[in-house]
Structure 1
Amino acid sequence: MNVVDNDLLICGGGYVGLGVAVAVKTAAPDLRVAVIDAAPEGVWKKDQRASAIAAAARRMLEALDLWQEIEPDAQPILEMIVTDSRTSDPVRPVFLTFDGEVTPGEPFAHMVPNLTLVGALRRKAEALGIEIHQDAAATALDTEGNTARVSTSDGRQWTAPLVVAADGVRSALRDMAGIKTTRWDYGQSGIVTTVAHERPHNGRAEEHFLPAGPFAILPLKDNRSSLVWTERTRDAEALVNGDELVFEMELERRFGHHLGTLRLDGGRRAFPLGLTLARDFIKPRIALAGDAAHGIHPIAGQGLNLGFKDVAALAETIVEAARLGMDIGSTAVLDRYQIWRRFDTFQMGVTTDVLTRLFSNDVAPLRMARDLGLGIVDRLPSLKNYFIRQAAGSADAAAPRLLRGEAL
């Protein structure tokens, strides 16, 4: 049996798993850090999606010397509008507008292609000497004693005082650790695609609340936009698998003509939408991070940013404990991470759940109430500023250091 000993073992090589590895190794270069069960290069290089990176997450990437590589492909969001209408309505009144700056000259978010983000993280991890193992899946977990042991399908065993499960919303390690989840399905799927358009978007993001769910238009570089289009699951599957002309016609009905002629600039995929919250974020020798700990509806665009908050909190917990000579996989150490992240995650999960149920319908009394609420918020600058700061991740004075742009 080939046994590989480490100081920190991370299962899952997406932006969260790589983020934890890079953050810890940058601050504590003597720790032996390995990433297993990572997506093969041929898989992650085909990801055509883009993600909204909030200002706090951008500060973390700057502190880790990653933003300089990412920034050329990053499109700042300079303005955001919110409408509430039916697909057939000839006019979509704007109920809420946001200036896109959290502080003067600092956009509250940037849109970044996933390929750019994960590529920068992988190159940084390799430069730091972090081993990335992508040819085998985790098959067993043993957390007895002072060392965790993960077996992989290639016959290896990987040991470390702490294992981080960052292997997605259907986390195998979470199940192996016996951590239960609260989960339900919304009966919706999010269609993700990219379009090129004739006119410039000028950095404006749009969220149109339609009866089947939100339709978000998110600006990218080079007169392109990333779409997150929510439909009932059956309708979404029919649109994605059906005729391209029909798809483009339905897309144009929702997108409108304000940016001129549209054309698809990539594939189209649909992802089922639900809420998944882990009941515990830690067990002895194991910590959950990213989608393994929480999967939320994209209505608020906070999924990636929740994951980066996990990265910052977990990395700070690990590094400070290691510097003090503490056992980084002990419950006494990991409790700090759980306290730091569980309530915030629960709060965001409840918020997105309420918003999804409130806005994914065509019930007249609810429509009147939500439109009144949006109108009131639009007329209260201090409340709008609070929401911007929340979306940017800048409202928490006790945020981890990396999210404040400080090195560990």
Structure 2
Amino acid sequence: MSSHNLTSLAGRRRGPGLDVAVVGGGMGGAAAVLALARLGLKCCLIDRAVPEPWSVDDEVDLRVVGLAPSSVALLDELGVWPAIRAGRTGIYRKMHVWDAATGASIDFDAASRGEAELGRIVENRLVQSALWQALDAAGVRRLCPARVTGVEQREDRINLRLAEPVDESGDLLSARLVVAADGSDSPLREMAGIDVRRRDYGQIAVVAHVRTERPHADTAWQRFLGTGPVALLPLADGRSSLVWSLPVDEARRVLALPDDAFMQELGVATDFRLGRILDTTERAGFPLRLQLAQSYVAGRMVLLGDAAHTVHPLAGQGVNLGLRDVVELRNCLQQGLQAGLAVDTPEVLARYGRRRQSANTLDALSFDGLARIYGWQSLPAQMLRGLGIRLVDRLGPLKRRLLDHASG
């Protein structure tokens, strides 16, 4: 079906008012509202604040994401990838992962898939800014700053109560479908009564950008220590972005170190693989936890991104999983529209929830299991782990399957 016919069909199905209200304007929420608006749906984005615009003159944001090819493809479809690519993006063509206890390692190379790269390291703010800049042209209504204080499921609509009146109609916003993309502590998820399964890792991810003695060689470097993984990810300016997972008390100690002592300890932790650490930015820490929503659908509300799942950062897949949620939601709604179904048809929403909850749960538990395996401390367990790593590295088909899955 052509995009014109799909737009006309969406218009016939929606009637008056909003089709979709997306709550949360981070990367997942902004991508979702843009993708759904491109289907011809009447969409609104609600967020507590308008994000600061990204500028090439700004210091590189400490929060970066490793965008898999599937995420790059989505952003390209949405028309925002050229602006992101023209900003600051670090390319990683290879990945080297090694175990501190056994020395066993695995290497991944884009060339083994016939590709030029494995992915891009991009600042969160750059991706979000590019998405927001595309909203007006897509006809997305923006309510910012605005805060949802209540949700009411009706027979034919879902109402959102806002903290302040939005226009002459007051503080009530009505839509056929609400997408909760309001983060891991999602107020909408709580209002919908959706339970979550949580596990606190008792760790903090220490992040910074560092300059190293040797170039990063367009490679993502990750070493597994007994305390957790430490990763150096290639930035566009030649530096590396650090993500160092540590037990809470140890992370607080590392965060408080003078720069010289911090750089020395980081060099030891990375086995000086890139030589000495020569310079560092300020550091920040983020607590780590596993969190899985027990349902992705509640009436006319669906969960997306961190509101639905929060995973361990060791595989760098958190944002990619959220963007895959966006693709699945768009595809399910598009197929429904083509079949003459409204966006709030229960079967359509159930299909999205079933597919993404199954895929995300499998991925999240796989990452969790990997973190547990690398935490084994006994000598026999370490020897078994080392043997397994070496075996995987030698099995080309298995390595390619793992890489294909990570690429989306």
User: Equivalences for 1:243-392 in 2 at 5 Å?
Assistant: 243-392=258-407
User: Residue 21 of structure 2: which of 9, 14, 30 is its match?
Assistant: 9
Mapping for residues 7-406 of structure 1, pairs under 5 Å = 7-28=19-40, 31-42=41-52, 47-72=61-86, 73-85=88-100, 93-101=103-111, 103-155=113-165, 156-393=171-408
**Superposed displacement of residue 237, structure 1:** 2.3
Residue segments in structure 1 that go unaligned for 5+ positions in a row: 87-91, 394-408
The Cα of 1:289 is off from its aligned counterpart by 0.3
| Matching residue's letter, 1:13 | G
Residues 219 and 280 from structure 1, CA distance in 2 versus in 1: closer, same or farther, beyond 3 angstroms? same
Name structure 2 gaps, 5 residues minimum. Answer: 1-15, 166-170
Q: 1:333 Cα deviation (Å)?
A: 1.7
State how far apart, in whole Å, the 1-side matches of 2:304 and 2:43 are.
16
Distance 2:63 2:110 in 1: 22
- Does the C-alpha gap of structure 1 residues 370 and 266 become closer, same or farther in structure 2, counting only changes over 3 Å? same
Render the CA deviation track for 1:256-301: whole Å, top value 9, x for unaligned.
Answer: 4343453455332111111111111101110000010101101111
Measured in 1, the distance between the counterparts of 2:54 and 2:356 equals 27
- Percent identity of the aligned residues? 33
SS of residue in 1 equivalent to 2:67? strand
Deviations 1:196-228 (A, max 9, x none): 234321111111000110001111112111111
Rounded to whole Å, the distance in 1 between the matches of 2:281 and 2:173 is: 38
> Structure 2-normalised TM-score?
0.88
Alpha-carbon distance in 1 for matches of 2:54, 2:174: 26
User: Residues 102 and 388 of structure 1 are in contact (CA less than 8 Å); yes or no, is this contact kept in structure 2?
Assistant: no
**d(CA) in 2 for partners of 1:304, 1:154:** 31
CA contact (8 A) 1:14 1:38 kept: no
Q: Is the 8 A contact 2:264 2:276 kept in 1?
A: no
Q: State the SS of the aligned residue for 1:357.
A: helix
For residues 384 and 325 of structure 1, the distance between their equivalents in structure 2, rounded to whole angstroms, comes to 42
Aligned 8 A contact 2:199 2:290 in 1: yes
Q: For 2:19 and 2:349, how far apart are their aligned partners in 1?
A: 15
CA shift in 2, pair 1:75/1:94, >3 Å: farther
Q: CA deviation at 1:160?
A: 0.4
Alpha-carbon spacing, 1:265–1:132, altered in 2? closer, same or farther (3 Å): farther
Q: 1:43 to 1:215 in 2, by over 3 A?
A: farther
Between the aligned partners of 1:12 and 1:339, the Cα distance in structure 2 is 22
Q: Is the 8 A contact 2:18 2:43 kept in 1?
A: yes
TM-score (normalised: structure 1): 0.88
- Matched to 1:368, the amino acid is M
SS at the partner of 1:209? strand
Residues 267 and 131 of structure 1, relative CA distance in 2, 3 Å threshold: farther
Deviation of 1:356 (Å): 1.1
- State the one-letter code of the partner of 1:132: R
- Offset, 1:248: 2.8
Question: How many positions carry a matched residue from both structures?
Answer: 383
Task: State the alpha-carbon separation in 1 of the partners of residues 63 and 135 from structure 2.
Answer: 22
Name the CA shift for 1:305/1:101 in 2 (closer, same or farther; >3 Å). farther
| Amino acid in structure 1 at the alignment position of 2:20 | L
2: CA distance between counterparts of 1:43 and 1:105? 32
Aligned mates of 1:270, 1:245 — CA distance in 2: 18
Report the CA distance shift for 1:258/1:209 in structure 2 as closer, same or farther (over 3 A).
closer
| Worse-superposed segment, 358-367 or 155-164 | 358-367
Residue by residue over 1:59-100, the C-alpha shift from the partner in whole angstroms, topping out at 9 and shown as x without a partner, is 1122222221222322221111111115xxxxx835211113
Alignment CA distance shift 1:168-1:252 (3 Å): same
Q: Is the Cα contact below 8 Å between 1:139 and 1:150 reproduced in 2?
A: yes
Residue identity in the other structure for 2:62: Q
